[in-house]
Amino acid sequence: MVGIVIVSHSKNLALGVQELAVQMVQGQVSLAVAAGIEDAANPLGTDVMQVYEAIASVLSDDGVLVLMDLGSAVISTEMALEFLSPEQRAKVHLCAAPLVEGTLAAAVAASTGKNIHQVMAEAQGALGAKASFLGAMNCPLSVHTPHSHHHERKTHVEVPTREIRLTVNNRLGLHARPAAQFVATASRFQAQIFVQNLTRGSEIVRGDSINQVATLGVRQGHELLISAIGGDGEAALAALQALFINNFGEDDSTVEPLPVIEEILPPTQGELAGIAASPGVAIAPVVHYESSTPVTITEYNIENVEVELQRLHTAIHTAKQEIQTLLSHTSIQIGDAEAAIFDAHLLFLEDPVLLEAVEQRIFDHHLNAEAAWQIVVDEVAKSYRQLEDSYLQERVDDVVDVGRRVLRILLGDLPQDLDLTEPSIVVAADLTPSDTAKLDPSKVLGICMTSGSATSHSAIIARTLGIPAVLGVDAQVLALEDGTMMALDGEMGKAWVAPEAETLGRLEAKRQAWQTAQAEAKARAHQPAITQDGHQIRVLANIGSLADAQLAMVNGAEGVGLLRTEFLYLDRANAPSEEEQLAVYQAIAQVLHQRPLIIRTLDVGGDKPLSYINTGIAETNPFLGVRGIRMCLENPQLFKTQLRAILRASVNSNIKVMWPMITNLTEARAAREIFTQAQTELRQGGIAFDERMEVGTMIETPAAVAIADQLAKEVDFFSIGTNDLSQYVMVGDRTNPKVATLADAMHPAVLRMIQQTVQAAHAAKIWVGLCGEVAAETLIAPILLGLGVDELSVNPQAIAPLKQAISQLTIDEAQALAKVALKQDSALSVRELVYPIG
């Protein structure tokens, strides 16, 4: 008989569900619970070993169905599977059904002797009865799901819903990365999320399906209707709305268009025209690459459906592991933005609509896994190709990429990585994003493909890697022999086979000029920022990960002015341990090579809540609630754990620590007291740390500015956070689009706050940094320097332009400009001082 495991953050909830199920089946079914953690102060959470033990206790040849409540419970469950043998793991099935209804339905189905797949189907359909019962209520939804070419499936439910209408502001709409964020956020809640593109008049689709969301064809300016059904629907909609308000974390201002080619030359011998995808010149022998050997899928009937389903699930699990490894590699080697492409790949493999469609073909038609998988993947790819939007059409490359990966695993083929013995130009029909992310720029000097476009994910990754690329060339290049000399110009979108001496000379000169310009730009970025009259201004980086630190060093950062530590705490079931934090801080400090590393202690609350920290009340205005240092002081052990990790990491490093959201001296002194306690504990334990570590505070509230003269006596430095300071000074929530424009750091009221802070700090002989986003605006920099700020900290990509801007001004000029700015009557009039009008 099928066993059932209930995984929940709440032990009381799980035991209650278990009791209901036991009563319904009179103890006929084995039910185990893995819920809560052994922490009296914070009992909510999940424990990997507890989940493993629960699964092992009910494991049998009939299989185990695991039901989970929240997103991090899923992570704990997946980690627990790693402790099982492959044979045992094959018998465990994770189910996305609602916890209460799904458990009860599964228990009843198991008690009647149904197999694991039938039990799972009953669990996943558990809300149907409730929906029918509540059918007299509000709003009918007709939810479209992908279907086979034999028939359609539609589910009609009539249940009360909550809904919001949101407009998409992203320049490229809901392409893969924001779509992945949308689905990941929707999937964190128990509520069912549905989406409709009102602008296109689309059908309603499921919000937890990456393919259905991506194929809505959502572009900039489109209006979406988002509906939620379930108890936490309101919270789900609020979380989704926050994504839209924050523009899905994308900074469209940094998108650089491909250069316009003004030089028009007549075609030369061997010249091939293509698409300019990644700038630069490459001259090298050709090597051919096929990401996967074309195969013909044989469709046949299978006898044992369960074995075939398990083959599919095992292949998908292996594919997830491969993609996770690739994601980590890409994040470290290339950057978090590019790595986010593979978040969408993972979500593709978790798409419930797609998986249900494949399982249905295997179960209903007794098709082999390879055939069923390929049929459904082809249908999804077709739905992308049919979109009117050319940019979204190109996302089919990602679908094909993931589809090929699972198919390769099902067929037992090994990955085909490119192994070059000498620098070459890679010629291929196409390169998937996975292929491109693994390329070594020291060996792959250029890319020449017969397909693709400048906006494909492969092209984006090639540009980030700095590999010149020409796409869409004539297919005749595929017939070239390996070793044939080729030249390509990724800026002009041209390639030459066996180029003539004249062409070769011209391209070689251009390549050398380009390489010289790149080297000079890189060298300037690593030089100090010194004004025309000899004042050096330190330029550091704002970072939120190890990969950011590496990128900052490449871009010439003189250290890190703000390490946001929230990335260690968010999207997990419990707080990171001291050892886990220590490893991260040490790794970042090692990348910096004794350069300053200013670590801001945990700053959550407001728009960054932690699921495992209960403030005890529902905050109607969390930006004015328990956030920043307030939350840390309310959770002293959590705070001390972080401080111990920071102190331990300071050995042989240049680490400083600072407090977020200080509003009064009591908070600053209380934080210092816990810091002192952590130091004492380490000394008593014989654990080394930097005894002279500097302690600073963020200045990001009007209260902190008002008492800056007093705070300056308590700390070693100030760091002005203009993002929060602006919203608190102007009483304008920067996440609320109706008032966000008020929170402009260039408003004279905010500028006067900056000036007052600098004056108080310098009077106390401590230095002042500024780490708000406004520092990245090169035309604004003179005003900030004129107000007396000692150092600026910006995102890594802004470092080189900022240094160049500083080198072109004098402090006298900056001070004169700042005086004029302080006398203006609005942020607009201040900006008109430095920005061209019209």
d(CA 134, CA 253): 48
Series of mean pLDDT values for 10-residue runs along the chain (838 residues):
91 87 78 86 81 91 89 78 85 86 83 82 67 40 35 38 84 72 82 87 81 78 88 85 76 42 47 85 89 72 89 90 75 59 80 88 90 90 71 69 88 73 88 82 90 75 84 88 91 88 88 75 82 94 86 90 87 85 93 95 73 66 78 91 96 95 94 96 96 95 95 96 88 59 84 96 96 79 93 86 88 92 88 64
Residue 558 per-residue DSSP state: S
The set of residues, in sequence order, having a beta carbon less than 8 Å from that of 294 and lying 6+ positions away, is none
At residue 316, the 3 state secondary structure works out as helix
Q: Using N-to-C axis directions, what is the helix angle for 811-822 and 827-834, rounded to 10°? A: 150
Superfamily of domain 3-124: Phosphotransferase system, mannose-type IIA component (3.40.50.510)
Q: So what's the pLDDT on residue 704?
A: 95
Residue that the structure tokens 């000169």 belong to: 509
The set of residues, in sequence order, having a beta carbon less than 8 Å from that of 302 and lying 6+ positions away, is 308, 362, 366, 367, 368
Query: Hey, what are 107's tokens?
Result: 């228990």
Give the dihedral sign, CA 159/164/165/171.
negative
d(CA 540, CA 553): 10
Query: Hey, what are 705's tokens?
Result: 């500015």
Strands 529-530 and 3-8: unpaired
Helices marked H in 700-791 — which ranges?
Answer: 702-706, 708-711, 722-730, 748-763, 781-786
d(CA 178, CA 184): 10
Reported as type and span, the H/E element at residue 497 is strand 494-497
d(CA 805, CA 525): 11
Instruction: Determine the number of helices (DSSP H) and then strands (DSSP E) in the chain.
Output: 32, 27
Query: Hey, what are 87's tokens?
Result: 């044979």
* E-strand stretches of 191-328: 192-197, 205-206, 223-229, 271-273, 275-278, 281-288
Domain with CATH 3.30.1340.10 in the chain: 134-252+311-414
d(CA 435, CA 425): 14
Q: So what's the pLDDT on residue 571?
A: 65
d(CA 477, CA 473): 8
Q: So what's the pLDDT on residue 523?
A: 74
Contact 229, 213 (CB under 8 A): no
Range 134-252+311-414 has CATH code 1.10.287.180: no
Query: Hey, what are 265's tokens?
Result: 């030359």
Please name which of 426, 458, 424 lies closest in space to residue 442, comparing C-alpha atoms.
424
Q: So what's the pLDDT on residue 71?
A: 60
Give me the DSSP letters along 341-392.
Answer: HHHHHHHHHT-HHHHHHHHHHHHHH-B-HHHHHHHHHHHHHHHHHT-S-HHH
Please name which of 130, 325, 368 lies closest in space to residue 231, comparing C-alpha atoms.
130
At residue 504, the 3 state secondary structure works out as helix
- φ/ψ (deg, to 5) at 814: -65, -40
Q: Using N-to-C axis directions, what is the helix angle for 722-730 and 748-763, rounded to 10°? A: 120
Contact 197, 218 (CB under 8 A): yes
Domain with CATH 3.40.50.510 in the chain: 3-124
Residue 204 per-residue DSSP state: B
Residue type, position 794, single letter: V
Longest dimension (CA), the chain: 88
Contact 778, 801 (CB under 8 A): yes
Superfamily of domain 271-291+417-520: Phosphohistidine domain (3.50.30.10)
Q: How many CA atoms lie within 13 A of 385 on its CB side?
A: 9
Residue 26 per-residue DSSP state: T
Instruction: Give the gyration radius of the chain's Cα atoms.
Output: 29
Query: Hey, what are 810's tokens?
Result: 């004098």
Residue 257 per-residue DSSP state: P
Contact 46, 7 (CB under 8 A): yes
Q: Which of 93, 457, 632, 747 is catalytic?
A: 457
d(CA 318, CA 328): 16
Query: Hey, what are 25's tokens?
Result: 């089946």
Please name which of 466, 500, 475 lies closest in space to residue 486, comparing C-alpha atoms.
500
d(CA 295, CA 402): 16
Give me the DSSP letters along 49-70.
Answer: HHHHHHHHHH--TT-EEEEESS
At residue 156, the 3 state secondary structure works out as strand
Vertex 207 angle, CA 205 and 209, to 5° = 85
Query: Hey, what are 835's tokens?
Result: 């920005």
Contact 835, 780 (CB under 8 A): no
Q: How far is CA 363 from CA 303, 312, 418, 608, in A?
A: 10, 12, 38, 43
Please name which of 583, 587, 562, 566 lies closest in space to residue 575, comparing C-alpha atoms.
566
Q: Answer whether 0.85 is exceeded by the pTM.
A: no
Please name which of 372, 803, 345, 380 lies closest in space to residue 558, comparing C-alpha atoms.
803
Give the dihedral sign, CA 802/804/808/812.
positive
Residue type, position 458, single letter: S
Name the fold adopted by 531-834: TIM Barrel (3.20.20)
| Per-residue 3-state assignment (H helix, E strand, C coil) for 584-596 | HHHHHHHHHCCCC
Strands 3-8 and 717-720: unpaired
Contact 460, 228 (CB under 8 A): no
At residue 796, the 3 state secondary structure works out as helix
d(CA 290, CA 486): 18
Q: Is 147 a catalytic residue?
A: no
Q: Residues, the chain, total?
A: 838
The set of residues, in sequence order, having a beta carbon less than 8 Å from that of 377 and lying 6+ positions away, is 354, 399, 400, 402, 403, 407
Q: How many CA atoms lie within 13 A of 286 on its CB side?
A: 22
Query: Hey, what are 241's tokens?
Result: 């709305």
Residue that the structure tokens 């008690």 belong to: 111
d(CA 444, CA 464): 14
- φ/ψ (deg, to 5) at 60: -150, 175
Q: Using N-to-C axis directions, what is the helix angle for 665-684 and 636-649, rounded to 10°? A: 60
Domain with CATH 3.20.20.60 in the chain: 531-834
Query: Hey, what are 306's tokens?
Result: 């369960």
Q: How far is CA 750 from CA 695, 755, 756, 826, in A?
A: 25, 9, 10, 10
Q: Is 457 a catalytic residue?
A: yes
d(CA 128, CA 356): 16
d(CA 305, CA 300): 12
Residue type, position 291, single letter: S
Reported as type and span, the H/E element at residue 314 is helix 305-333
d(CA 714, CA 662): 12
Q: Which of 95, 448, 632, 771 is catalytic?
A: 771
Reported as type and span, the H/E element at residue 131 is helix 127-133
